[in-house]
Amino acid sequence: MNTRCTWDLFCTVIDNHGDLGVCWRLARQLAQAGQSVRLWVDDASALAWMAPDALFNSLQDIQVLPWAEASEPELLARLPAADIWIEAFGCTLPQAFVTHAAATRHTQPLWINLEYLSAEDWVPRMHGLPSPVMSGPAKGWTKTFFYPGFTEGTGGLLREADLLTRQQDFDREAWRQQHAPRLAPAGLLISLFCYEPSALPQLLTALAGTPHHLLVTPGRPLAAVQQALKSLAVHPSWSALPYTDQNGFDEMLWGCDLNFVRGEDSLVRALWAGQPFIWQIYPQDDDAHHAKLEAFLNWVQAPESLRQFHRVWNGVEMGDLPTIKAHWLADGSASTLSARDRLLHQDALVSQLLAAR
């Protein structure tokens, strides 16, 4: 049986679909495992659609608190001390919060630095290493690096206990009929969740005149498509999707034949979906994301046609996007399903966190 603990989970929002999405999934899964979670976040606005009221209120073991309140002495004095702290994605805990804890606690909490996801070979070497706090009010305490990953020796990936059951019970044909009722028999249903890739006009041009239909997610993807279409004489068949909760996003990935995903959270969901996908990695100014992309393509054993598509889509290489063809979709599906099978034989991220207490 799991011992019930209190977790303080800290998140600063850079991309509310990504950072907050991961932290909300983590909070949900900890709560479902019988844990009590306080999610401290500087911008919780995306939870209005990511975790609608019916879902939000059903999880009484999650408390969402404004980041600024972590610096209020009166509130901190009333709150029970947490057993575990998680600072997500390198965020720095508020100084007042750490100062209060150092002054009032007899022992330090388990302090976890939850890092970004990568398939690079250094990740297993870094996972679980201690990081002594050398200065400040918590001097002498220790943080622990926790690296999510795709292989044994890493922290694993977020995966709900009922994920495969939900996927098995999903009515794919009904979903497709609802979202693309006029899809031609030979047409592919394609989802688009992206930033602003320079190759987007290429994709839209390639889809024009085909029986395929593009489902565009809201926010930056929709704005990027609308902007790109202004310069195109011929438009593909497409429609815009509304904002949806996280379960609804999963259903979109399950229902489509090809998924374009971005960042960390949707990459993991695309892997669990088992459908062919194209990933747009979060771009970094020093192009460090190029090596991360190649490491992932190597791990997933992507066929060459999909590797080339990824490189052009991510701006790693210039040139034309490969034509979307049935044979490379089949190869992509096979590599994704093989990767998913490997992941299912590994401990999920929350299981590993619970074991680390």
**DSSP secondary structure string, 211-243?**
S-EEEE-TTHHHHHHHHHHTT-SS--EEEEPPP
- Joined together, the tokens standing for residue 169 give 């019970």
Backbone angles phi, psi at 335, to 5 degrees: -70, -35
- Residue 18's pLDDT is what? 82
Q: CB of 119 within 8 A of CB of 150?
A: yes
Given the residues 19, 61, 251, 331, the one annotated as active site: 19
Q: Which of 115, 160, 264, 265 is catalytic?
A: 264
Q: How many other C-beta atoms can be found within 10 angstroms of the C-beta atom of residue 177?
A: 13
Residue type, 153: G
Give the model's pLDDT for residue 179.
95
110-114 and 84-88 beta bridge pairing: parallel
**Catalytic (active site) residue 19:** yes
Q: What angle do CA 137, 141, 144 make, to 5 degrees?
A: 130
Q: What is the pLDDT of residue 59?
A: 59
- Whole-number pLDDT of residue 54: 42
Per-residue pLDDT tens over the stretch 252-292: 999 999 999 999 999 999 999 999 999 999 887 777 788 99
pLDDT score of 79: 94
- In terms of C-beta density within 10 A (0-12 exposed, 13-18 middle, 19 or more buried), how is residue 187 classed? middle
Q: Which two tokens stand for residue 210?
A: 């085909």
CA distance 174 to 71: 49
Give me the domains of the chain, ranges plus CATH numbers.
6-155 (3.40.50), 163-344 (3.40.50.2000)
Q: Catalytic site residue 43?
A: no
Q: Where do runs of H (alpha helix) occur along the chain?
A: 19-32, 47-50, 53-58, 73-78, 95-104, 123-126, 163-169, 172-179, 200-207, 220-229, 246-255, 265-273, 288-300, 304-313, 326-344, 349-355
pLDDT in single tens digits along all 357 residues of the chain = 468 999 999 999 987 678 899 999 999 999 999 999 999 999 998 998 998 764 455 557 899 999 999 999 999 999 999 999 999 998 999 999 999 999 999 999 999 999 999 999 999 999 999 999 999 999 999 999 999 999 999 999 999 999 999 999 999 999 999 999 999 989 999 999 999 999 999 999 999 999 999 999 999 999 999 999 999 999 999 999 999 999 999 999 999 999 999 999 999 999 999 999 999 998 877 777 889 999 999 999 998 989 999 999 999 999 999 999 888 899 999 999 999 999 999 999 999 999 988
How far apart are alpha carbons 194 and 18 in whole angstroms?
Answer: 12
CA–CA separation, 60 vs 37, rounded Å? Answer: 9
Element at 113 (helix H, strand E): strand 110-114
The predicted structure's pLDDT at residue 325:
86
User: Any idea how long the chain is?
Assistant: 357
| 66 DSSP β-pair partners | 41
Q: What is the pLDDT of residues 179-198, one digit of tens each?
A: 999 999 899 999 999 999 99
**Is 78 buried (19+), middle (13-18) or exposed (0-12) by CB count in 10 A?**
exposed
Phi then psi for residue 41, to 5 deg, are: -140, 145
> Which residues lie closer than 8 Å to 147 by C-beta, 6 or more apart?
115, 117, 118, 123, 124, 126, 127, 154, 155
Q: Taking CA 307 as the corner, what is the angle to CA 303 and CA 311, rounded to the nearest 5 degrees? A: 175
Report CA-CA distances (Å) from 80 to 6, 8, 59, 76, 102.
8, 11, 19, 8, 14
- 32-45 burial string, b = 16+ CB within 10 Å, else e? ebebbbbbbbeebe
Which one, of 340, 267, 249, 253, lies nearest residue 50 by Cα? 249
